[in-house]
Amino acid sequence: MSSSSSARRSRPGLIWVATLIVAFVVVGALYVSGAGVRIVESLYPPPAVTDQGADTRELYNVVFLIAAVIFLLVEGLLVWTIIAYRRKPTDTELPPQTHGNSVAEIIWTVIPTLIVAFLFVISWQTLNKVDTVTATAETKIRAVAGQFQWEFDYMPPTYDPLAKEPVAPLYVEYAPTGAEGGLHIPTGRTIQLYLTSPDVIHAFYVPQFLFKRDVVPGRINAFAFNVQADQAGQTFRGQCAELCGIGHKDMLFDVHAMEGAAFDAWLADKVAQASATPAPPPSGGPAPSGGPAPSGGAAGPGTELAETAQNIAFTTTELTAPANSPITIKFDNQDAGTPHNIKIFKDSIGGQVVFDGKIFPGVATETYDVGPLAAGTYPFECFVHQNMTGTLTVQ
Amino acid sequence: MTTDSTALIPVADTTPEGDHRYGGLDHDVSGGISAPVLGMLLFITSEVMFFSGLFAAYFNVRANVAIWPPIKPDTIPPEQYHVDMLPFVLPATIVLIISSFTCQWAIWSIRRGDHTRFVRAIAVTAVLGAVFLVTQCIDYWMLGQEQVTLSSGTFGTTYFTLTGFHMAHVFGGVVMLSVVLYRGMLGQFTAKHHDAAEAASLYWHFVDVVWIFLFSLLYLFPGKTV
Amino acid sequence: MATTTLTPAASSYRSGLYDWVTTTDHKKIGIMYVINSFIFFFVGGVLALAVRSELAFPGMQILTPLGYNESFTMHATFMIFLFVIPMLAGFGNYVVPLQIGAPDMAFPRINALSLWMLPLAGILLLSGFLTGGTAAAGWTSYAPLSEDHALAATGAGQDLWIVALILIGTSSILGAVNFLVTIFKMRAPGMTLFRMPIMVWTVLVTSVLVLMATPVITSALIMLFIDRNYGGAFFDPRVGGDPILYQNVFWFYSHPAVYVMILPAMGMISEILPVFSRKPLFGYKAFIFATAAIGALGFSVWAHHMFTTGAVYLPFFSLMTFLIAVPTGVKMFNWIFTMWRGQLMFKTPLLFAFGFLSMFLIGGINGAFSASVPVDFALHDTYWVVAHLHYVLFGGSVFGIMAGFYYWFPKMTGRMMNETLGKVQFVIMFIGFNMTFFPMHELGLAGMPRRIADYSSTAGWNDLNLVATIGGFLIALSMLPFLWNIFLSLRSGKPAGDDPWEGNTLEWATSSPPPAYNFDRLPDIRSERPLFDARHPSIAPVSDH
């Protein structure tokens, strides 16, 4: 053996020791400063608020640990190899021309196979706990994903999506976000969510559930979950996670967890309110709107405008009205089953709101009582389909 | 294919001419399948995969529903979609199967060096292929008269897509056979060198096999009458 | 040193435009593939910068929602179909006939046809920008969003996209037939299958994948075209079609496609590491079997893209996805132990190979998370997947492509590239790449979905998005030393000679660039390193791996 190779034999040794010391110092510093914890946290999903999410997070612990160990070992080996085996000026002879090593190759085939088999088995076990539908759900809710808004239908316990006779929902929530709107659910009970869409594929995703499920038109996906009891009073954010068009970024929803009895009271209240308000007539005729009584005591005779929504578009995009005169808009929604509204802004869409009309599905007509407005240009949109826009010019 | 030869080749440093023992050309010194024929077999593999995608769609559509063929809308009493193998499709099928035999006869002839029979057999094959195309077109027209088209729901879409792409492939095959016929009439093929004819015949057999599958699926096992 | 004694080597290509446009020479065609692919790399890169610029801050500053959707759709489309796949086909085109000692590909005219279909397809795709909008339903183009419905994909852009992809697919399939016939029929005497360079093996397996998988996406695209234009009922639930059918047929191709995008890059790395470590590839035969296993298993995992649809048999696809990690891991160890106890020469190709190894490892590991179905329920369709796909496609394929480019540029042009500029590019690109994509792990875990044009300023994602955008511009910056290097080297780079790297394989046994017929004579072929064996006659060739 030439002298260069004996010198080589001690060089890797020194580098080996140096690397270990550096690694020890770095890991120690990370631990002591809490930065290490922060790094690990950033590679973790949020804490789960459902039982199923908690099962998933426990599985994640194992997967993450194995991944981290493999990463540190292999990446470490790689970095070390690069550093330790640089060609030196003394390397004039070829290094040993090793073509392979059967023992090593068998080991690094068998052990990874065992590791992935283990990961598969524990994943499958967790899957059976997480991905379930139940025949005995205490609360059944249907989430309707349309372009570009979520709607939540609270169904009676008899609801079966495959039944021939359609079951009417007890209460329909059209506003997907906000303290009043969104998806209200009871803690400590098994909830079954049914997912349906009339148009394109969407996805129901709540990060804190560590769960999502696609909403596919033409089929009804269902899954059951339980929100943990200590989450009562909390709100979780949800968002559509499957590209569904130009409004995909806007399809947010809120999930409000309520203690069981509080949920029952809330739902009963909503059901009572819904039956007290007469349903909008199918066409024509002024109908009671959500605002104050029209015309009474206001200055001037009042102006009635007409607007129609058809094929996800306003038929009139330019409305005009005189200033300081009470404005009502008779809004005819011609799109069967599709919710629309008119939302009027002061200066620009997304800015200060002047009037937020009730969202309702077609085919139906609502009369919006906008009230008198000062002279100006007011852009409006349909909140559900924000490509539907227009301008109300008041002069 | 190049054999696993362990015969030592002399070190080439002093040989001025270089080594020309490359395989793959028509005159394949190492023996085995020729490059054009191998190329056609691989291409046919890709075509099989293309049809697999279409067949997968058909099976998926058919498996998803309880009633197949589906009921035609607005029919009183309710009537299912159907396609009839008489008067045109069954004869067309027989014609296509016969054309595979004539095609193979052509290949056997040219392998023996029999130019005359080769040309005749290829001509007959091409004509039979054209007859198949014409009868299919008539059948399409007749279905159109019954308002069964590409946009007739899942039935019409899958039926016309499958048979339509098959027809396109038959058309390609007829073109290929015509080129081979033309070259054969010019005397460009010999018993030893006729790769284009071999390749075209492989393609033609493939087209026929696909039709046998399609015919069986769409006409012999078309679903249940309810 | 070179072992050939050719009469004056072919001078650099001064032949005219007509010659280049009508050539059937695999070397010129390979170079044109590479140039075409880089052009579309820059187009795709500009689109990426548009996406990242919009996402740098909450609020819509630059693009409309439709424009944003078009941008990420076309970014991915150009990168996958007009950059990575054809770039690797181009390197294969240049290198494979040389490495097997053949004078050209089996079907030179079909080779030219395959090439010229690509710029045509690129023009079709780009024309969408001028005709009222490109496709905007994602490169995955799921139905019903890609159907001709209100608020979906009305307009010609989606149809142009379909036609362009069918063209590209045809180009790929013809190329695959060409590669397979060339490799099976035109190897030089003595080159048995188990003496072929690994690059040739990976191109072989890739070609099988292309041959069998690409026609399936052609069928999906045709069915979508029929739905959109002829009232078809394949995928439209309103007339009895099934959106899940589209996903199944689409992913049956698109999953093997990712192996099409990585295997030749792995082949290039497997050529570079032995040369720059001065040792043979560790476990040559195992590597080949691992490659074949990846190819075969790659056909069995497609529905892992559909775990959240509620329409697939989850355990099977989860198991197969986990299993495919095993041959991939075998390769990683083979590469590391090629370098182990070697004498590493830190030239630019090796630097990019190191980048490939270290980044592809991360991509492989974060992919394994998604193989676990419950974990995938949390991670699917979030930025975690964006991180994963870029770590394997950029960290893997692009770094591999860069390594191959620096390695074979001297052979293609007869000039050496500038080492300093190469190292500068590597450092900036490596840092920029990690800055862009590592934060996306956290973003995805925290709940940021994919393909959103904007995000709420209160979601807590602002800082990481800004960091990712800065990283993206760093990647763009790294292109400057790269382009400058190419310009300088072509003009006045050091003459390369036949064999500047002390290579192992036959392409280094002829001039740089090679003459039209590639070889005047060949050395003995008794192992996968014929040139090494010729250079070191005292070391017995090892071919009974």
CA-CA-CA-CA torsion sign (C352, C294, C202, C123) = negative
**Separation of alpha carbons C346 and C349, rounded Å:** 8
Distance of CA C25 to CAs C84, C107, C110, Å? 22, 10, 11
Contact A208, A53 (CB under 8 A): yes
User: Do residues A326 and A303 lie in contact, with contact meaning Cβ atoms separated by under 8 Å?
Assistant: yes
- Domain layout of chain B by residue ranges: 1-32, 34-220
Which residues pair with residue A172 across a beta bridge? A153
Q: C278, A247: Cβ pair inside 8 Å?
A: no
Angle value at C-alpha A160, between A157 and A163, nearest 5 degrees: 135
Mean pLDDT of B208-212: 97
In CATH terms, are A11-87+100-130 and A304-394 the same topology? no
| Structure tokens given for A277 | 């308000």
Tell me the backbone φ, ψ of residue C359, rounded to 5 degrees.
-85, -35
Tell me, yes or no, if B46 comes closer than 8 A to chain C by beta carbon: yes
Indicate the length of chain C as a whole number: 545
Contact call for B2 and C103, based on CB within 8 A: no
Structure tokens of C127? 């024309």
Q: How many CB atoms lie within 10 A of CB C439?
A: 21
Contact C230 B151 (CB under 8 A): yes
A131 DSSP 8-state letter: S
- Of C65, C343, C358, which is closest to A78 when you measure between CB atoms? C358
Q: The tokens of C536 are what?
A: 């070191």
Q: Which residues from chain C sit within 8 angstroms of residue B56, using beta carbons? A: 245, 248-249
Contacts of C323 (CB under 8 A, 6+ apart): A113, A116, C297
Spell out which residues of chain A touch residue C151, defining contact as CB-CB under 8 Å: 147, 199-200, 245-247, 312, 385, 387
Q: Which residues on chain C are in Cβ contact (under 8 Å) with B4?
A: 192
What one-letter code names the amino acid at A235? Answer: T
Give the integer Cα–Cα distance in Å for A61 and A53.
12
- Least CB–CB distance from B154: residue in C187, C212, C240: C240
Q: Which of C477, C538, B113 is nearest to A97 (CA)?
A: C538
Quick one: pLDDT band at residue B7, thresholds 50, 70, 90?
A: very low
Is some CB atom of chain A closer than 8 A to the CB atom of C66? yes
Q: Which two tokens stand for residue C179?
A: 């590669």
CATH number of B34-220: 1.10.3720.10, 3.90.950.20, 2.60.120.10, 1.20.120.80?
A: 1.20.120.80
Could you say which residues from 301 to 320 on chain C have a Cβ atom under 8 Å away from some Cβ of chain A? Answer: 308-311, 314-315, 318-319
Residues in C 231-290 with any Cβ partner in A closer than 8 A: 237-238, 241-244, 277-280, 282-286
Rounded Cα gap, residues C246 and C92, in angstroms:
31
d(CA C536, CA C521): 18
Of the listed ranges B30-34, B217-221, C515-519, C539-543, the least confidently predicted one is B30-34
Instruction: Please give the pLDDT value at position C275.
Output: 97
Note the pLDDT of residue A352: 80
**CA A348 to CA C341: how far, in whole Å?**
67
Strand A221-226, strand A339-340: pairing? unpaired
- Chain centroid to Cα A108, Å, comes to 40
Specify the DSSP element, H or E, that contains C269.
helix C243-277
Amino acid type, A19: T
Mean pLDDT of A123-149: 91
Please give the mean pLDDT across all residues of chain A: 86
The structure tokens 């390594």 sit at C403
CB proximity list for C3: less than 8 A, separation 6 or greater: C498, C499, C509, C523, C531, C534, C535
Which positions ≥6 away from A187 have C-beta within 8 Å? A226, A227, A228, A229, A230, A231, A232, A257, A258, A259, A260
- The DSSP line for B29-93 is TT-SS-HHHHHHHHHHHHHHHHHHHHHHHHHHHHHT-SSSSPBPTT-SS--B-----TTTHHHHH
Half-sphere exposure of C24 (CA within 13 A, CB side): 11
Quote the pLDDT of residue C16: 86
DSSP state of C79: I
Backbone angles phi, psi at C63, to 5 degrees: -115, 155
Question: What is the ipTM for the molecules in this complex?
Answer: 0.93
Cβ pair C112, C24 in contact under 8 A: yes
Given an 8 Å threshold on Cβ–Cβ distance, is C187 in contact with B70?
no
Q: What's the longest Cα–Cα distance across chain A?
A: 109
Which of A353-362, B72-81, C242-251: highest mean pLDDT? C242-251
d(CA C364, CA C325): 7
Chain A residues close to C339, C-beta within 8 Å: 81-82, 85
Chains that touch C (3 or more CB pairs under 8 A): A, B
Which H or E element spans position A226? strand A221-226
CATH topology of domain A11-87+100-130: Helix Hairpins (1.10.287)
What is the band of A2 on the pLDDT scale with cuts at 50, 70, 90? very low
C423 touches chain A (CB under 8 A): no
Does domain A304-394 correspond to CATH entry 3.30.1490.100?
Answer: no
Output the CA angle C171-C175-C179, nearest 5 degrees: 175
Separation in Å, CA of A121 to nearest CA in chain C: 9
Specify the residue for token string 């283990």: A118
CB C238 within 8 A of CB A198: no
Average pLDDT taken over every residue of chain B = 87
Q: In 3D, which of C108, C216, C131 has the Cα closest to residue C166?
A: C216
| From A44, A211, A214, residue closest to C445, measured CB to CB | A44
Q: Which of residues 125-164 of B touch C (CB under 8 A)?
A: 150-151, 153-154, 156-158, 161
Please, what are the domains in chain C?
26-535 (1.20.210.10)
Measured CA to CA, the distance from residue C349 to residue C356 in angstroms comes to: 10
pLDDT beyond 60 at B208: yes
Residue C420: its H or E element: helix C419-437
Instruction: Map residue A309 onto helix, strand or coil.
Output: strand
Residues A207-263 pLDDT 10s:
999 999 999 999 999 999 999 999 999 999 999 999 999 889 999 999 999 999 999
Q: Is B104 exposed, middle or buried (0-12, 13-18, 19+ CB in 10 A)?
A: middle
If DSSP codes are grouped into helix, strand and coil, which group holds residue C138?
coil
The candidate with the shortest Cα–Cα distance to C210, out of C164, C244, C178, is C178
Contact C282, C338 (CB under 8 A): yes
Please judge whether C239 and B4 are an interchain contact, meaning their C-beta atoms are less than 8 angstroms apart. no
Residues 6+ apart with CB under 8 A from C402: C352, C355, C425, C426, C429, C482
Distance of alpha carbon C53 from alpha carbon C65, whole angstroms = 14
What is the distance between the alpha carbons of residues A169 and C57, in angstroms, rounded to a whole number? 41
Per-residue pLDDT tens for A173-205?
Answer: 888 988 888 999 999 999 999 999 989 999 999
Domain boundaries, chain A: 11-87+100-130, 139-275, 304-394
Pair A365, A281: CB distance under 8 Å? yes
Which pLDDT value is given to residue C316?
97
Tokens 């015919």 map to which residue? Answer: B215
Q: Does domain A139-275 have CATH number 2.60.40.420?
A: yes
What are B77's two structure tokens? 């009493």
pLDDT tens, per residue, chain C with 545 residues: 444 544 444 445 556 899 999 999 999 999 999 999 999 999 999 999 999 999 999 999 999 999 999 999 999 999 999 999 999 999 999 999 999 999 999 999 999 999 999 999 999 999 999 988 999 999 999 999 999 887 788 889 999 999 999 999 999 999 999 999 999 999 999 999 999 999 999 999 999 999 999 999 999 999 999 999 999 999 999 888 999 999 999 999 999 999 999 999 999 999 999 999 999 999 999 999 999 999 999 999 999 999 999 999 999 999 999 999 999 999 999 999 999 999 999 999 999 999 999 999 999 999 999 999 999 999 999 999 999 999 999 999 999 999 999 999 999 999 999 999 999 999 999 999 999 999 999 999 999 999 999 999 999 999 999 999 999 999 999 999 999 999 999 999 999 999 999 999 999 999 999 999 999 889 999 999 999 999 999 988 887 66
Separation of alpha carbons B209 and B213, rounded Å:
6
**Strand, helix or coil for residue C247:** helix
CA dihedral C323, C328, C332, C334 (to 10 degrees): 100
Q: Report yes or no: A259 and A186 within 8 Å, Cβ to Cβ.
A: yes
Cβ count within 10 A of residue A301: 9
Rounded CA separation C169/C190 (Å): 34
Contacts of C187 in chain B (CB under 8 A): 2, 23
| pLDDT interval class at A264 (50, 70, 90) | very high
Other beta carbons within 10 Å of A365:
21
Nearest to A188 by CA among A281, A95, A261: A261
Asked if C521 and B47 come within 8 Å (Cβ–Cβ), the reply is no
